[in-house]
Amino acid sequence: MLPAEPAPPRLDAEQYFALVDRGEIRPDDRVELLEGVVVSMAPQVPPHANAIARITVLLVPLVGTRGVVRVQCSFRAGRYNVAEPDFAVVPGPLERWEHQHPNEALLMIEVSESSLPTDRLSKAAIYAAAGVAQYLVVSLPGDRVETFAGPERALARWTDVRPAFRGERIALGAFAGLSLAVDELLPRASR
């Protein structure tokens, strides 16, 4: 029997950012740190890119000054996680984040196509453990939005997980009176 190979060491957020500072990870590399492992992200296909543009146009004026909408920016989700969510709505003011990446969020949104398993399982647990108030997975292949609320940080899980379908609205828990229409988050329905 061959001896087992030792597991590669996990990187923490500081080690990850040191790789960036040394140029070993370049700004145009599409990667993120998940559970101490540098993970590559799939290139954006047109439906994903269009969804990012559509949700940006929708989300920024909706949130207004109640939070800061960050699009595809780093989010420190604990010691071993530096995620690159499609959207993170973080507490303001904007200047608060000039010299550090946010480590708290009022709302997180991922647009999923090929990344659906990672977004639903790995990232959902990471965001719950980080105490993100609400998490939405816009499932392009599933034509629905999966909603996660009530994070249990110690258990890295959510108390309320449910799908939302066309015709429904999703209340934004951190923003009293605000909601998003599922139809506005998804591509226009085929005729």
Mean confidence (pLDDT) of the chain = 93
pLDDT of residue 7: 66
Least confident window among 35-39, 42-46, 95-99, 175-179: 42-46
- Taking the alpha carbons of 28, 34, 132, 102 in that order, is the dihedral positive or negative? negative
The pTM score is 0.92
Of 43 and 80, the one with more pLDDT: 80
pLDDT per position as a tens digit, 111-129: 998 889 999 999 999 999 9
- Taking the alpha carbons of 174, 178, 181, 185 in that order, is the dihedral positive or negative? negative
CA distance 148 to 120: 9
CA distance 74 to 85: 7
pLDDT per position as a tens digit, 149-162: 999 999 999 999 99
- Judge whether 128 and 151 are in contact, CB under 8 Å: yes
pLDDT of residue 191: 44
The pLDDT of 3-10, averaged and rounded, is 74
